[in-house]
Structure 1
Amino acid sequence: MNIPLLSAIKSIIKLSSEEEEIIQNLFKSKTYKKGTFFLKEGDVCRQVGFITKGIFRYYINDEGEDKTYGFSKENEFTCNYESFVPQSPSNQIIQALEDTELMVISYDGLKEFYTKIKEGERFGRNIIEQVFVQTLKDRNSFYTDSPQVRYEKFIRDHYDLQQRLPQYYIASFVGVKPQSLSRIRKRIS
């Protein structure tokens, strides 16, 4: 079984050895090559993943322009809950930026997790609350912070990703063109 996945779950809820076995049967190993999609625009998100290796980028296509709104890396969950929860088509895209390995659970598997794991629903609620709060913070930052402040927050929150991500994805996340990001980086250093 994937120890990082169990550790992530155990950091929120207690698990019996029987529950660990149930989880082992519900989560399946999956890989994505660099550039492939965990979720395409218009598809329904049918799984939640726990990343064991690699990075995913979250973005939307706004009239032909990709706008990055987030990243997930090792030991983080990935999903488009806006599509997953109601099982409706997604307007968001999740793409592997590196060869990525993860443990996935299907929509039906997650329902089973909630019923068979004693504190399963509490775990799900906690994860959704974390995603919701982060989404609000990111949205508020986009409207209230300057691009320089957003870049400084990116560096603080994702220091380990600076060397792993192309600068144009970081610029898109900050909300500027790559040339503007270069100027911001020069001012900071």
Structure 2
Amino acid sequence: MNEFEIFKNWLRQIPFLTEEDCALFLPFLKTKSYKEKAYLLSENKICHEIGFINKGSFRTFYLADGKEINTQFVFENEFVVDYDSFLHEKPSRYFIQALEDSEIVSFNLSALQNAYEVSHNWERFGRMMAEHSYRLTTQRVESFLFMDGEQRYLDLLKGNPQIFNRIPLYHIASYLGLERESLSRLRKKIAEK
């Protein structure tokens, strides 16, 4: 399958996007491959493109006192980007790293803005993406405000069980705000129930 076909097929599932809407992006699309552990974005660099993941996975993290703190994992049929850096063309506070050999279809901000100007459907799509990003951010913040480590773990297990097959436990522990040993004890305790 052509590397652009996966993205186009995903777009076709959005009921209000027409074939003409999809065709707007074709001249701007690029495919990129990332080896495991390669960086799509580094701290203090501007995120110049948004990537649709054809295959593989990425993590977003920041450094606090030299320690990596994971904030997000993304997989196939999801977008990988630091939206704030991308939309405002400002240096990122985050790193984005491939966790597996990965392939993305990417486009830049001018391509997205062009689509917004030409098509109300793309404006609607952009609004939906912004709402989705806001919802994910709010859920993440509220999980730390209103849940303990065990509740965050159970919530992740319920909402995203495949993550445990693809992401190393030390990355998941960081994402949950736990030490690796604490996560191991927690998993053992829950398994024994």
Partner of 1:49: 51
Partner of 1:172: 174
CA separation of 1:84 and 1:13: change in aligned 2, threshold 3 A? farther
Residue 158 of structure 1 aligns with an amino acid whose one-letter code is N
Residue 13 of structure 2 aligns with an amino acid whose one-letter code is S
Q: Secondary structure at the match of 1:130?
A: helix
Deviation readout 1:131-167 (Å, 9 max, x if unpaired) = 1111001111012111111111111222112111111
Partner of 2:77: 75
Residue 5 of structure 2 aligns with an amino acid whose one-letter code is I
Partner of 2:124: 122
Partner of 2:14: 12
TM-score, normalised to structure 1, is: 0.94
Deviation readout 1:87-135 (Å, 9 max, x if unpaired) = 1000011110001101001111111221233411110110011011110
CA separation of 1:126 and 1:111: change in aligned 2, threshold 3 A? same
Partner of 2:37: 35
Query: For the Cα contact (< 8 Å) 1:23–1:113, is it kept in 2?
Result: yes
Partner of 1:111: 113
**Structure 2 residue ranges without an equivalent (≥5):** none
CA RMSD in angstroms, aligned pairs only: 1.4
Residue 125 of structure 2 aligns with an amino acid whose one-letter code is F
In 2: Cα distance, 1:137 partner to 1:15 partner: 28
Ranges of 4+ aligned residues in structure 1 off by more than 6 Å: none
Partner of 1:101: 103
Aligned residues: 189
Query: For the Cα contact (< 8 Å) 2:115–2:122, is it kept in 1?
Result: yes
Query: For the Cα contact (< 8 Å) 2:58–2:97, is it kept in 1?
Result: yes
Residue 87 of structure 2 aligns with an amino acid whose one-letter code is V
In 2: Cα distance, 1:7 partner to 1:156 partner: 27
